[in-house]
Every structure is written in C-alpha cells, then in structure tokens.
Amino acid sequence: MIKRILYLPVRLIAIILGFVIVVNIPILLTYNQSYNKIEIKFSLFKEYVISNLRWFTHVVEYPYIVDYFKGTGMEKYAYTMTILSISIFIVVLLALLIATFLMLLPLNVRNRFSSVIDFTTTAPDLLVVFLLQYLVIFLYQHFDLRIFQLYGGAYSRPYIVPILIIVFLPTIFLIQLLLKEFANEEQQDYVVLARAKGLPIRTIYFKHILRNIAPFVLIHLKTIVWFMLSNIFVVEHIFNIEGYSAALQAMYGTRVVVFAVGLLLFAVPLFIINGLSSLVIRQQKRRETTSI
Amino acid sequence: MKIFKYKKTMIGLSILCILLIVSLLYPLYGPKDFNKVVFLYDEKGDLVGVPPISLNSDFPLGSDRNGQDILLMILYGAKFTLLTAFSVAILRVLVGGVLGIVFSLWLKRIQPIFKDVLLVFKIVPPIIMTIFLMRRVSFYIVDANVYNILLYQVIILSIIGIPSVLFMTAGIIDELKGKSFIQSSYLMGGGHFHVLKKQFLPYLKSYGVLMLVQQLLHTLTLVMYLGVYQIYIGGISKDEVRGADVLNSNAKEWAGLVGQNIYEFFRAPHIVLVPLICYFIIIIIINMMKKELESSMSLNPLAITLNNKKRSKNKQTANDLKKVPITSSDFTLQKDFSS
C-alpha cells in the first residue's frame, strides 16, 4: 500500500510526460511545404517538451485555469455532457428492451433480425447521419412536423436530433452484444432447470437471465461510451453545434495545462464507466472464487 | 498454403487488389482534369446541364460542382484510400506487435511506467488526437508530389493506433504466459527468444492477421471522420470548389470526397452519396473477410485461458474471443463487435 502511494508521483510524471510528447509530435515530425519533404527536428522538439513540462510545475498558476472554463466554457461542457448522459441512458434502456423483446420471438424470426443488425453495424456513421437527417427533413416536408431543430446556431442548442444520431449506432452494437450474451446464458444449467420445471419463457428471460446479464452491460458500456465520445465530437462539428468540441479546439492554441485539463474533463464519463465496470468485474471474480 | 482455404477473404482481397491496380493505372487512360465540363450540350447544341450534373449517359456517376466526372475521380482516388488504410494497418500491427512483445518479455520491469506514458491514448478518443496532430499539415496546398504528404499522414495515423495494438499484444502474451506449456518451456530452460519463436509466434501470427483487419476498419473510420473536418489525405488542392465554401481535396481520396461535399446532401445528393457508398462497399468487403477469419480461428488463445466457471467448457466459441479484449482492456473501440 505504501509502495503504491510512493509510486503515484512517478506515475503522474509518466502520464504528463506522455501527454506532452504526444502533443508535440507535430513539432518533431514536420512536413515542409516548400521543399515537399518530411523533416525531423529533434532539438526543437526537446525544447518544446521541456518548456511544456515547465508549465506543469507552475503550481501557483493552477487556480487561474478555472478562468478558462468559467462562463461559456462550462455551459458548453454541461450541454455536451447532458447530451452524452441522456444518450447513454437511452442506449442502455433501448438496447435492453429490444434485445429482450427479440429473444422472445421465435428462433427463425430472431435470426433474421440479428442478421439485419449485423449488417447495420457495418454501416459507416456518416451514412447514418445523412439518413437520419433526411428522415427529419422528410417528416417536416410531408407531415409538417417541426419538432426537431436540426442545426445549431449562435445561441441555439438542439437536443433531440444530436441525441437521435449519437444513440442510433451504439444501441445497435449493444443489442448485438446483448443477443450474444443472451445466447450464451440460454445454455446455462439454471435456465434448463427452470424450463424443465415449467416456468414460462417470459419469466425466465425477464426475471433470471436479464438480471444475470446486467453486469455485462456495464462492461460493454466502456467500449460504447468510448465510441460515443468520438461520435459526439464529429456530430457537433457536422451540425455546427457550439458544444464542448468547439471549446476544446479553441483550447489547443492556449497553454498545455489548460488543454490537458480540457481533455481530462472530456474523458470524465469514461472514468466513471471504467470505475463502475472494474467494480463489477471485481465482484464477479469474488463470486466466482466463492462458488468454488 | 492454407490461405486458399479462406475463399471469401481471397475474393475480397482480389477485388481490392484489382481496384488498386485500376486506380494506379489511371494516368494511362484517364484525363488529368477528370473530364471537366462546365456546360453540357446535347447533339443539337442545346444546353442540357450545368454542374453538378446528375447521373446520365455522359457521366455514369454524375459530376460535381466543378464539372468533374465523379466516376473518374473515384477511380483516381481509390489508390490513396486503399494505400493509406493498408499501410497504416500494417505499420500499426508490425510496430505495435514488436513493441508489445519486447515490453512484455524483455522489458517487463518498466512496462507499468510505459503503460502510464501511453495513458493519453486511452483517455483521448483517436479522432480528437488525430485532428490536433494533423491540423498543421492539412491546410498546405500540395502541387506536385502527393506521396510525401501522404507518407507524413500515414506516419501520424499509425502513431495514433500503435498503443492499442501494443496493449492488445501485451495482453495476449500475459494470458499465454499463465498456461502450462509455456511455463514448462521456461522451466526446461528455454530463453525468452526460444519460447517466443516456438510457442508464442504461432498464436501471435493468427491473432496478428485478425488485428490487421481490425485496424483496417479502424483506419477507414478514422479517415472518414477526418474528411468531415476537412483534413484530407493527400493535402488540399488550390482549385476551389465552385459555389461552396470548402477546401478541395487534392488526392480525390474517397473520404475527402465525402467530407468536402458533406453539405451537398440536400442539393445534389449524388455528389456525396456515390463516394460514401463506395466507401461502404469497401468496409463491407473487409468486414466479410474479418468474419470469415474470426470464425475459422477456432484455436483462440484467449478463449481457453478465460476460465469462465459459469460456462461449460465445450462452448468456447468465437464469442469468447470478443469478450476478452473488452474486459481486459478498453481498447477495442471501433466497430468490431460484429462477428
């Protein structure tokens, strides 16, 4: 335990060093436009890395970082994170519902559905963006439904359409994963026992299998949230939404420390999910060891 | 060779190869300005269309805002898309794999610190990182030799993906190390190199092929995202896109064609949909290859060591393969949940 605590500063330095090196890769490897060739500038790179590292040692100035995130910055962050958290919630809910519903269907229908899902997951995200965008406009043109605001502006903050687009593909991934988990769980002994005892299939799925699968959802969520983070970044750009991605890009030109904090803030959902899933894994392992 | 056993993979690879060759031979048959037509007349001399012209007999896939034939542009740009994807994937797997082996066998001591150094790649999604790293280069106008800037972009794209391959390789080796045949090999006095050659490599080879395909898909997605940000593979051209306030892709790489015309969807949808569907077809082909490879890899090192006490022993199928990377590392982002 003490060893681990003593080791923490080393880890911190390593993480910061890694960050600084990665940020400065464009300095090390540059493309010279006039000569049309790639150049390696090691001395300049070293200089940049050292000066950047020095910024991290100015602990006195850390409180001023808050200034960068005050006001609009924090607003944008809250907006993006709202979209993200609502999306995660919807993804989990929808995927669980649809996957359970699909499992209740007869086997041949289910197989057809799952092959459709398999095909949909290969679709490039942009195609999905276009088609959903088209759907919204189609709804507006033909049924005069103007409930969704499509593009962002200076002060407008659309919610429904970005969420719709961000949710679509991850939900299908999660359904796919859940179907696999269901198929695995279906062959367990307790399911066979329950069936032999004459329990209706619906009860087995909703009461027993779903409950056993729930922890796996959290483990898969890690990947899904990671995927959604990059998705939200692109969607905000396409729809010209003034979200956190714009703020992050503005931060790139400022100080390294600010940029680092900005990136860390962006990754907060990832940390939360990671922590939760590691908890679940630990519990799962403990249960396994006790069962032996 | 066992390689002919994989029919779908061979078919997919040959389609991609033919596409690449046709694209590489473009200067032999295609005009340099992609049949630029500003005013299209019929036989009588009447004006039939101005760009963007939609699909007709003169332009099988239509023309874009500058009056260039989209079919020719797609043929010309295919080589850049394919070369970038393949070279990035190969570089990532080779460098990442070798580093992963070195760090988990010979430099085991400093592996934790090294993992911390690479933690940035775990926190920041690759698209964000790539945008910040490539932005400087992306707004250079390239006239003569595209391949230098292409090489630069390939290097940056590879660096972004190397850590994930590294962690995956290290994970596989760590899993394998716990198995009895490896341990007995060490106990009998085998050195790291010997064990690597005799025991690890057969596993790593088959796993490497799978990772290669996975990285291919990952690169294609990443490049497409970059196109949206107007960061084109092969730099930008000095020609403007008529009537639209976007940069013009120089190499006519497919993702660039999609990205630069992204707002054309409602005005002239064919301009953006044609390259996008071509891109989709490539992704489908690679996915098909991946599925076949996955299903044929019954001997999966991770599925055996993952002792799920809950699951019965004879049901370790390809499903287990997917489970391991997710629980052991959060590095499998991409869309490779399909199997």
* Residue A63 resides in a domain: no
Radius of gyration over every alpha carbon of chain B, rounded to an integer in angstroms: 23
pTM of the model as a whole: 0.83
Say whether A122 and B126 touch across the interface (CB within 8 A). Answer: no
Residues of A in contact with B335 (CB under 8 A): 121-122, 169, 173, 227
* Residue B315 resides in a domain: no
B212: left (phi over 0), alpha (psi -120 to 50) or beta: alpha
Q: Where are the beta strands (DSSP E) in chain B?
A: 40-41, 47-49, 236-237, 248-249
Q: Look at residue A148 and give its three-state secondary structure.
A: coil
A5 touches chain B (CB under 8 A): no
Kindly provide the b/e burial profile for residues A172-204, where b requires at least 16 CB atoms within 10 angstroms of the residue's own CB: bbbbbbbbbbbebbeebeebeebeeeeeeeeeb
Residues of A in contact with B147 (CB under 8 A): none
Say whether A126 and B228 touch across the interface (CB within 8 A). Answer: yes
pLDDT, greater one: B243 or B75: B75
Nearest partner of A214 among A53, A47, A96, judged by Cα: A96
For the record, the structure tokens of B330 come out as: 């959060």
The residue-averaged pLDDT of B239-244 equals 73
The residue-averaged pLDDT of B28-39 equals 74
The DSSP code for B39 is S
Q: What angle do CA A83, A269, A122 make, to 5 degrees?
A: 70
Say whether B333 and A267 touch across the interface (CB within 8 A). Answer: no
* Residue B153 resides in a domain: yes
A170 and A43 in a common domain: no
A140 and A8 in a common domain: no
Number of domains making up chain A: 2
Nearest partner of B76 among B115, B26, B42, judged by Cα: B26
Q: Which long-range contacts (CB under 8 A, 24 or more apart) does B327-331 make?
A: B327/A219, B327/A281, B328/B171, B328/B175, B329/B167, B329/B168, B329/B171, B330/A222, B330/A223, B330/A226, B330/A270, B330/A274, B330/B122, B331/B122, B331/B163, B331/B164, B331/B167, B331/B168
A160 and A17 in a common domain: no
Nearest partner of B13 among B24, B1, B4, judged by Cα: B4
A79 and A17 in a common domain: no
Say whether B145 and A291 touch across the interface (CB within 8 A). Answer: no
A137 and A79 in a common domain: yes
| Chain A residue at shortest CA distance from B236 | A33
Say whether B136 and A26 touch across the interface (CB within 8 A). Answer: yes
Specify the CATH number for the domain of residue B267: 1.10.3720.10
A132 and A51 in a common domain: no
pLDDT digit string, tens, across residues B125-167? 888 888 888 887 777 777 667 788 888 889 989 999 899 999 9
Instruction: Write the DSSP string, B300-330.
Output: -HHHHHS--SSS-GGG--HHHHHHHHHHH-S
Say whether B113 and A14 touch across the interface (CB within 8 A). Answer: yes
A29 and A82 in a common domain: no
* Residue A62 resides in a domain: no
Q: Which of B265, B273, B330 sits opposite A222 (nearest CB)?
A: B330
Q: How far apart are CA A284 and CA B260, in angstroms?
A: 48
A183 and A150 in a common domain: yes
Kindly provide the b/e burial profile for residues B172-195, where b requires at least 16 CB atoms within 10 angstroms of the residue's own CB: bbebbbeeeebeebeeeebeeeeb
A183 touches chain B (CB under 8 A): yes
* Residue B333 resides in a domain: no
Q: Which of B125, B327, B330 sits opposite A233 (nearest CB)?
A: B125
pLDDT cut 70: percent of chain B above it: 80
Say whether B140 and A33 touch across the interface (CB within 8 A). Answer: yes
Is the CB of residue A208 less than 8 Å from the CB of residue A194? yes
For the record, the structure tokens of A69 come out as: 């995130």
pLDDT digit string, tens, across residues B204-235? 888 888 889 989 988 998 898 888 888 888 87
* Residue A192 resides in a domain: yes
B103 touches chain A (CB under 8 A): no
Interface of B with A in 228-267 (CB under 8 A): 228-229, 258, 262, 265-266
Q: What is the pLDDT of residue A152?
A: 59
Say whether B225 and A230 touch across the interface (CB within 8 A). Answer: yes
Say whether B221 and A124 touch across the interface (CB within 8 A). Answer: yes
H or E element in which residue A32 lies: strand A29-32
Residues of B in contact with A219 (CB under 8 A): 326-327
A241 and A199 in a common domain: yes
The residue-averaged pLDDT of B72-91 equals 90
A141 touches chain B (CB under 8 A): no
CA distance B255 to chain A (A): 10
Number of domains making up chain B: 1
B95, pLDDT greater than 90: yes
B187 touches chain A (CB under 8 A): no
Q: What is the pLDDT of residue B85?
A: 92
* Residue A109 resides in a domain: yes
| Chain B residue at shortest CA distance from A132 | B265
A170 and A120 in a common domain: yes
Is the CB of residue B277 less than 8 Å from the CB of residue B77? no
Q: How far apart are CA B278 and CA B263, in angstroms?
A: 18
What mean pLDDT, rounded, does chain A reach? 83
pLDDT, greater one: A178 or B42: A178
B139 touches chain A (CB under 8 A): no
Q: How far apart are CA A288 and CA B327, in angstroms?
A: 16
* Residue A225 resides in a domain: yes
Q: Look at residue B115 and give its three-state secondary structure.
A: helix
Residues of B in contact with A291 (CB under 8 A): 309
Is the CB of residue A92 less than 8 Å from the CB of residue A217? yes
Q: Which domain holds residue B248?
A: 2-296
Say whether B116 and A14 touch across the interface (CB within 8 A). Answer: yes
Interface of A with B in 60-79 (CB under 8 A): none
pLDDT, greater one: A42 or B88: B88
pLDDT digit string, tens, across residues A114-160? 888 888 887 777 788 888 877 877 777 787 766 666 665 556 678 88
Q: Which domain holds residue A25?
A: 2-57
Mutate to test the interface with B, among A127, A166, A168, A281 (most CBs of B within 10 A): A127
Mutate to test the interface with B, among A226, A245, A286 (most CBs of B within 10 A): A226
The residue-averaged pLDDT of A64-87 equals 83
Q: How far apart are CA A124 and CA B286, in angstroms?
A: 13
Kindly provide the b/e burial profile for residues B62-71, where b requires at least 16 CB atoms within 10 angstroms of the residue's own CB: bbbbbbbbbb
ipTM: 0.84
* Residue A83 resides in a domain: yes
Q: What is the pLDDT of residue A145?
A: 66
Specify the CATH number for the domain of residue A171: 1.10.3720.10
Q: What is the pLDDT of residue B304?
A: 39
Kindly provide the b/e burial profile for residues B291-315, where b requires at least 16 CB atoms within 10 angstroms of the residue's own CB: bbbbeebeebbbbeebeeeebeeee
* Residue B308 resides in a domain: no
* Highest mean pLDDT (candidates A143-152, A171-180, B50-59): A171-180
Mutate to test the interface with A, among B110, B133, B310 (most CBs of A within 10 A): B310
Instruction: Give the model's confidence band at A256: pLDDT under 50 very low, under 70 low, under 90 confident, else very high.
Output: confident
H or E element in which residue B52 lies: none
A124 and A216 in a common domain: yes
Helix axes A244-251, A210-238, angle to 10 degrees: 60
Instruction: Give the model's confidence band at B96: pLDDT under 50 very low, under 70 low, under 90 confident, else very high.
Output: very high
For the record, the structure tokens of B189 come out as: 């006095």
pLDDT, greater one: B296 or B103: B103
C-alpha B196 chain-centroid distance:
28
How many pairs of residues across A and B have Cβ atoms under 8 Å apart? 159
Is the CB of residue A209 less than 8 Å from the CB of residue A191? yes
Q: State the SS3 of B175-196.
A: HHHCCHHHHHHHHCCCCHHHHH
Q: Which of B120, B137, B228 sits opposite A18 (nearest CB)?
A: B120
A272 touches chain B (CB under 8 A): no
A96 and A39 in a common domain: no
